[in-house]
């Protein structure tokens, strides 16, 4: 059975800022809709096999890259929670660095 997918309050706010930025910069929502579609497809895939993503220093937290962003999530047997959507250009947090 697939895991339930949730977005944290933080990741929801970050996603909204990302989508708004691209809408304003491009004068269109085409890229934002494409980004959102890719994000949702990848999160659904991760919900099926979360260990197919990159490990972090915490056993229950993993991450993957998408279109210049690092998507950080926590998972257990029932849920996948997207914790943060960070620009990959930012300095990585130590907790999310590969062991």
State pLDDT tens for residues 36-63. 999 999 999 999 999 888 888 888 999 9
What's the mean per-residue pLDDT of the chain? 89
Three-state secondary structure string covering the chain: CCCEEEECHHHHHHHHHHHHHHHHHHCCCHHHHHHHHHHHHHHHHHHHCHHHCEECCCCCEEEEEECCEEEEEEECCCEEEEEEEEECCCCCCHHHCCC
CATH number of the domain residue 41 falls in: 3.30.2310.20
pTM of the model: 0.85
* Domain count of the fold of the chain: 1
- Give me the domain span that covers residue 48: 4-96
């Amino acid at each position: 059975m697939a895991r339930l997918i949730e977005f944290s309050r933080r990741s929801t706010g970050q996603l909204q800022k990302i989508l708004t930025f691209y809408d304003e910069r491009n004068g269109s929502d085409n890229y934002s809709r494409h980004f959102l579609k890719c994000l949702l497809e990848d999160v659904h895939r991760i919900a099926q096999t979360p260990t197919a993503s990159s490990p972090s220093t915490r056993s229950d937290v993993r991450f993957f890259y998408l279109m210049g962003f690092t998507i950080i999530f926590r998972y257990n047997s029932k849920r996948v929670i997207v914790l943060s959507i960070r620009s990959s250009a930012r300095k990585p947090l130590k907790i999310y660095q590969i062991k």
